[in-house]
């Protein structure tokens, strides 16, 4: 049984539908990536899994049990954590408080402030400072650490590399194997196709709210990905 299963999911914002009959699976300990151009529906997919966007139809199953009716804060307790696009750090909280608030409804597990500082030692220098004084890369490390504080079974990462220098992105992606090693499955949404493919076992390419291609990164050709990404010759 898959850890997380998306079944024929449709979702959107008011009259605007962003996802159409979308299905995918995530196994225990696996990392999958979701790639696609701007507006493909990648972030909406993560928000629907996290419960901040309501599904129109279809289902989200965790361990085979539907969590579609659960509120977003309840899904955290079930083991789903989202690192939102744009970091969304709490500005009036210090770095330590941001981490602690991530563990507000924590499950038991390996992650706590100390273990997160081991993975992201750069945060230790700023632990007592207001979080809004961090650089973009430090804020992204904090956002990932904050999400890990709930000891999730599934970590949803939305555009981790957005707006960051390549060296910072490399450092952040370097932490993902450690996170996986502690039993957390990953869903990586990225526009940076190379990073996403390198970090995942299985990839889904999205186009206009639908899956246009899927497969193991090593088995997909650059041409196939380009077609699925930009829609040239993609299935209707």
Partner 1 sequence: MNWINAIVQGILVGGLYAMYATGLSVSFGVMRLVNLAHGDLAVGAAFLASTFCLSTGLSPFFSVFIILPIAALFGIGLQLVVFNRVVGADPAFQIVATFGLSITLQNVLLQRYAATPRALNIGDFGNRSLKIIGDDVVVGWFPLTRFIVAIVMLVALSLFVGRTRLGRAFRATSDDPDTAKLMGINIRSVYVVAFAIAVTTVAVAGIFNGMQTQFSAGDGPALLIYAFEAVIIGGLGSLWGTLCGGIVLGVAQTIGAEMDPGWKQLVGHLVFLVILLVRPTGIFGREELK
Interface ranges with partner 1 (CB under 8 A): 50-52, 71-73, 76-77, 81-82, 84, 88, 90-93, 97, 100-102, 104-106, 146-147, 150
The answer to whether the CB of 40 falls within 8 A of the CB of 209 is yes
**CB of 214 vs partner 1, minimal distance in Å:** 27
- In what helix (H) or strand (E) does residue 194 lie, and over which residues does it extend? helix 193-199
Could you tell me what percentage of the chain is helix, strand and coil, using 3-state DSSP and rounding each to the nearest 5? 35, 30, 35
**CB of 118 vs partner 1, minimal distance in Å:** 21
Q: Closer to partner 1 at the Cβ: 63 or 85?
A: 85
Side-chain-facing half-sphere of 221: CA atoms under 13 Å: 3
Q: Closer to partner 1 at the Cβ: 8 or 88?
A: 88
**CB of 217 vs partner 1, minimal distance in Å:** 28
**CB of 26 vs partner 1, minimal distance in Å:** 18
224 CB contacts (<8 Å, ≥6 apart)?
213
**CB of 92 vs partner 1, minimal distance in Å:** 5
81 CB contacts (<8 Å, ≥6 apart)?
50, 102, 147, 148, 150, 152, 154, 155, 156
Q: Closer to partner 1 at the Cβ: 97 or 208?
A: 97
Q: Closer to partner 1 at the Cβ: 10 or 105?
A: 105
Radius of gyration of the chain (CA): 17
Q: Closer to partner 1 at the Cβ: 21 or 132?
A: 132
């Amino acid at each position: 049984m898959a850890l997380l299963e998306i079944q024929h999911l449709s979702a959107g914002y008011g009259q605007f539908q962003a996802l159409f009959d979308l299905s995918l699976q995530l196994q225990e300990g696996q990392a999958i990536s979701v790639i696609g151009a701007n507006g493909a529906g990648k972030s909406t997919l993560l928000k629907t899994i996290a419960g901040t966007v309501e599904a129109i139809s279809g289902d989200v199953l965790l361990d085979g049990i539907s969590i579609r009716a659960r509120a977003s804060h309840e899904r955290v307790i079930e083991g789903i954590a989202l690192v939102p696009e744009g970091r969304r750090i709490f500005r009036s909280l210090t770095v330590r408080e941001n981490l602690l608030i991530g563990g507000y409804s924590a499950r038991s597990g390996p992650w706590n402030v100390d273990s997160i500082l081991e993975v992201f030692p750069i945060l230790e220098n700023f632990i007592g400072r207001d979080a809004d004084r961090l650089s973009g890369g430090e804020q992204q490390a904090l956002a990932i650490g904050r999400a890990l504080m709930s000891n999730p079974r599934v970590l949803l990462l939305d555009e981790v590399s957005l707006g960051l220098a390549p060296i910072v992105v490399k450092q952040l992606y370097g932490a993902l194997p450690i996170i996986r090693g502690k039993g957390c499955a990953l869903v990586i949404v990225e526009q940076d196709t190379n990073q996403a493919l390198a970090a995942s076992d299985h990839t889904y390419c999205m186009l206009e709210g639908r899956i246009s291609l899927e497969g193991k990164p090593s088995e997909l050709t650059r041409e196939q990905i380009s077609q699925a990404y930009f829609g040239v010759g993609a299935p209707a």
